[in-house]
Structure 1
Amino acid sequence: MSTSRVKLAPATSRLITETYGQLDYGALGPVYCYEGGDEFWRAKRGPCIRLGIQIAVLLKKKLKRNGRSLYIGAGVAELPPLVMETVELGRAVKPHNLRKAEVTALNHACRAIPITFHAGDAAKAKGRFDHLWVVSVLNDPERFPNLSPLSYGQGNPLTLNPMQFDKERRIVRALVARCMGKLERPGLVTTTTEEVIWIAEWCHQHGVAYRVGKRYYQTALVGDPICFIHIGEGD
């Protein structure tokens, strides 16, 4: 079946739009920007829904029914795939986010859906998963200010703090190791083109086969292109 023939059920698309309508954008403004929160969300709400549904359609084709997904750093942009997985595929989703204000707003908006965001470290999630979502997490400029510029090819050798960079790199590697250790094989990782290297490094170190998809997909908020990595095929 071609991706172009896969669609979300109309009821799912309506539920996604309704969930975005339940969000407290006033509370979310300070989470995503320093000023101009109202203008930010007026501009981004539509693209979040439209591009998020595109990713949800792709995942609908790739994921099996009744599986489990671990979402690392899940926020507003992740609502469409989370809703799709829950409603259409009957999957259990575990979205984690370290920003408590965003978690509160998301859980309020999702109170009519069996989706609960967790304000904590995704690496502590229990059990095994067949899908990991790691999008714009390992290159987050707020959490990794020394590592992030290098991820985008913008590092400045005059200002780079090598000790802080090494510390941040150890944190990223540890997070990847703990989360990848929860992934069943074969499994799927949804990530960005800038974060592929961390997943690939783990696979090389553990002798695990992986295949990075050749197509990239636009995102609404950060702008990092998304891709899919198939893990453990043929192991």
Structure 2
Amino acid sequence: MLETCWSIESHGRDVYTHEVFAEFQRQVVAARDYCHVKSIVQVGEVRTIGISSKSGKVRVVSFNTSTKAAHCSCSMFESLGIICRHIIVVLKNEGCNEIPSQYVLHRWTKMAARQLSYDANGHELEGPSTCLSPTIKKLYSETCSKFSLALHAAKHCEEKMRYFHKVVGDAFTQLEQMGAISEQSKVQEFESFVGTSFPSVISIHPPDVANTKGSGKRLKRGSEQTVNQKKKRANSIQKVPDK
């Protein structure tokens, strides 16, 4: 849902993934509610604008009126890959209804999210060949976006990178333990159901040797047995010697 009537917000909704748009939208709302132009100085095609924010601190945005290139002293775009509220104010005042293409990183777009993802072995993680539920696919996509945002934010600082590396490592260890616990709980649940525990060692004995030569006699129906009995009686009567 859009929070403003600014066309640039609508454009962000159309191009960004859900997670990235949520952050971009926060910047748009902050630009509308808290940011104001304090000063403008222009030298040639470069316009330098001072933007005040809620904290009272003034950020400086350098904007090239020809190329639409902008740089803010807060360096949010360089850190997260999303333009800040200060640049958004400048773009709005310059009449820009869309985010300049150089500030729409492909990895944050819906088009990139629709592309197939592969694991380290080249196996497809998402696509027609998998049976992932819509909920898991949504969570997977959102997690990828958050992971990329966090990685982009940490890559310029060794301390942040070490922290992020530790967090990811701890999360991976926890996930492995959750998998082992899940399998163990399934076994315990089945043992509780059958009323006995699985043996730790299972001995398999060789099967008894069966005589498979030829085939056994066919089981006869009741009518066939009656006919045979009558034949036997008739034969026995015929074999009785005359007195």
More helix by share: 2
* Structure ID, larger Rg: 2
Q: More strand per residue: 1 or 2? A: 1
Question: Is the structural similarity TM-score above 0.5?
Answer: no
Shorter-normalised TM-score: what interval?
Answer: under 0.3
Tell me which of the two structures has the higher relative contact order, counting C-alpha pairs closer than 8 angstroms and 6 or more residues apart. Answer: 1
Which TM-score applies when normalising by structure 1?
Answer: 0.26
